[in-house]
Structure 1
Amino acid sequence: MTSTDVPPVTGEAPVARTPASVTLGLLRTMRPKQWVKNVLVLAAPFTSGDLFTGRAVLQLAVAFVAFSLAASAIYLVNDAKDVEADRVHPKKRHRPIAAGIVPAQLAFALAVVLALAALGLSLLATWQLLVLIAVYLAVQLGYCFGLKHQPVLDICIVASGFLLRAVAGGLATGIPLSQAFLLCAGFGSLFMVAGKRYAEMMLAERTGAKIRKSLEAYSASYLRFVWALSATVLIMNYCLWAFEIREEHHNTAWSTISIVPFVVAVLRYSVDVDSGNGGAPDEIALRDRVLQVLALVWVATLTLAVYTV
């Protein structure tokens, strides 16, 4: 075995480590497909009617890129930290670090560079965004180094990642965030995360597949309770937010009408989750055509509510 070959997972051939394979492996570990989550930074400016102003566009671009860099840094740390556990996992063992393509030390080093770049870039928008990115990195690092195994804390931390993205758009552009918006973002995030965990548990019970360690502390009934509670609070606060938008934007009825596709979309998403076949929220959204249509109708009604006189 040459010096560029890495001991593989038991039963597999040695992995040749080349500059090209390492570069590609680092890019895969950074999970660029997950950057789509960062469109949540557009939520607050969109609903306030300030999305298309020149200054807001630049600041939101900064927030999007900063969150992308910060998230990729966390993915690198997570995979490097869990390399030994991933090597015995049927799917995760094919991740670049677990497969021996990317050295763990290199992943840690790049994570530091990306985290510093995210912090520096965020300062181009506002100092408040810098603080938010720092909080995001601290919370997510805590998750990587042990909190992921703590019941309740694990789902709350994952949900906070979505919430902080939504808050970032407001901080980057100086737009005040309403209480109803924050509650929708927070409980919407918890709804998706609890639903994902519930679907994982249902799939494990049906197929006998191994579940993540944190799920061992939960029961299906508890996750279903959290999921249902989050959906209830989410829908209630969205209705209040819709009425709030109606008062702020010319008393139009479109924001009230948007409640219909929103509620139906929540119910449709719940069907996917309850089947036990639901994966990550982005995977469900890309697979369910009906859910996509409902989302488009919802966005259309909100656009009419905010951007028409």
Structure 2
Amino acid sequence: MVSFSSSCQLLRPRQWLKNLMLFFPPFLGGVLLQSGMALRGLRPFAAFCLASSAIYILNDLCDRVNDGQHPKKRLRPLPSGRVSSRTASLLSVACVMGSALAAWGSSAVFLYYLVAYFVVSTAYSLFLKDIALVDIFCISAGFLFRLLAGGAVFGVAISEWLFLSVFLLSIFLSTGKRLGEKRHLGALAEQHRKVLVAYPKGFLEGAMYMTGGSVLVTYTLYALTRSSGLVLHTVPLCCFGLLRHMLRIQSGADGDPTESLTRDLPLFVVGLLWLAMVGWGIYGA
């Protein structure tokens, strides 16, 4: 019998934080607090959570041999043997069916982004993750599909500067994650994730610095388009958050953005301050 904790580990509920991206368009558009608006996003949010969990399980199935050689991932349910491949496969299928059920009745545009997310993520898990740069852009696409799906669900247009900010931020986070993996694994990098050796020395650092600076520029331009001056005042928070994340990675910490946000106190506090200031600037006026 598979334990409940092992099943939860396979689903990776902590990573569901990424699916809150669906609520960014109505939140930043100033309509999230309108009557019934937040409830409208619950089923789409559940659909993306279940779809992402199905992908995480698929990815674990594909990587179970390599994960067994990883200092941390070898303790996961599949490589440790606590969950069989058959059980994990059945759970993944159940998540796909649950996602389809949660998305039933949603708009055609939302379904398009959900399916696109699932297809790209599946291709990533199966073979695209082994192709340099393509792997990073696949991860980035997942964030963009969530953002655009949120705009479709709530009927909110995505501004050009917001789209570019999210795109560049996702590339920044993805390169940081790869850099963190490469540094942490060292000589074992190729055994765990062979694409890591395809990135020459200095490339990931340069890409992280380049996209980090670009995020700061595009977010500043996005903030300048807002009517609230308080939103512009969150630019220093953005700058601090980017630099703090880079400092953590260069100091040898895990590059996973969810881990960084939930386990690093300065980043967590900055995230809450950003949320409070943007929220007050949009809804408090």
**Structure 2 length as normaliser, TM-score?**
0.91
Does the 8 A contact of 1:69 with 1:115 survive in 2?
yes
Deviation readout 1:182-237 (Å, 9 max, x if unpaired): 111111111111112112223344xx554521101002311112111211221111
Q: How big is the shift at 1:49?
A: 0.6
Q: Hey, what does 1:120 align to over in structure 2? A: 101
Q: Hey, what does 2:238 align to over in structure 1? A: 262
Q: Hey, what does 2:265 align to over in structure 1? A: 289
Q: For 2:78 and 2:273, how far apart are their aligned partners in 1?
A: 41
Larger Rg: 1 or 2? 1
Q: For 2:241 and 2:79, how far apart are their aligned partners in 1?
A: 37
Instruction: Please say if 1:171 is aligned against 2:152.
Output: yes
Say which SS state the counterpart of residue 276 (structure 1) adopts.
Answer: coil
> What is the alpha-carbon root mean square deviation over aligned residues?
2.0
Q: For 1:274 and 1:94, how far apart are their aligned partners in 2?
A: 25
Q: How big is the shift at 1:97?
A: 2.2
Q: Hey, what does 1:139 align to over in structure 2? A: 120
Does the 8 A contact of 1:162 with 1:185 survive in 2?
yes
Q: How big is the shift at 1:110?
A: 2.6
Say which SS state the counterpart of residue 98 (structure 1) adopts.
Answer: helix
What number of residue pairs does the alignment pair up? 283
Deviation readout 1:45-90 (Å, 9 max, x if unpaired): 1110111223321221112211110011011111222333334444
Does the 8 A contact of 1:62 with 1:124 survive in 2?
no
Q: Hey, what does 2:175 align to over in structure 1? A: 194
- Which one of 175, 178, 182 corresponds to residue 163 of structure 2? 182
In structure 1, give the amino acid aligned to 2:245.
Answer: Y
Q: Hey, what does 2:283 align to over in structure 1? A: 307
By relative contact order (CA 8 Å, sep 6+), the higher-ranking structure is: 2
Q: For 1:87 and 1:266, how far apart are their aligned partners in 2?
A: 32
Q: Quick check: which one's helix share is greater?
A: 2
| TM alignment of 1:1-309, pairs within 5 A | 19-21=1-3, 23-205=4-186, 208-210=187-189, 212-246=193-227, 252-309=228-285
Q: For the structure 1 residues 300 and 33, does the alpha-carbon distance in structure 2 shift closer, same or farther, using more than 3 Å as the test?
A: closer
Q: Percent identity?
A: 30
In structure 2, give the amino acid aligned to 1:168.
Answer: A
For structure 2, list consecutive stretches of 5 or more residues without a partner in the other structure: none
Q: For the structure 1 residues 278 and 29, does the alpha-carbon distance in structure 2 shift closer, same or farther, using more than 3 Å as the test?
A: closer
Q: Hey, what does 1:5 align to over in structure 2? A: none
Q: For 2:56 and 2:221, how far apart are their aligned partners in 1?
A: 36
Q: How big is the shift at 1:176?
A: 0.8
In structure 2, give the amino acid aligned to 1:199.
Answer: G
Say which SS state the counterpart of residue 78 (structure 2) adopts.
Answer: coil
Does 103-112 or 191-200 show the bigger shift?
103-112
Q: Hey, what does 1:8 align to over in structure 2? A: none
For structure 1, list consecutive stretches of 5 or more residues without a partner in the other structure: 1-18, 247-251
Q: For 2:277 and 2:65, how far apart are their aligned partners in 1?
A: 49
Q: Hey, what does 1:12 align to over in structure 2? A: none
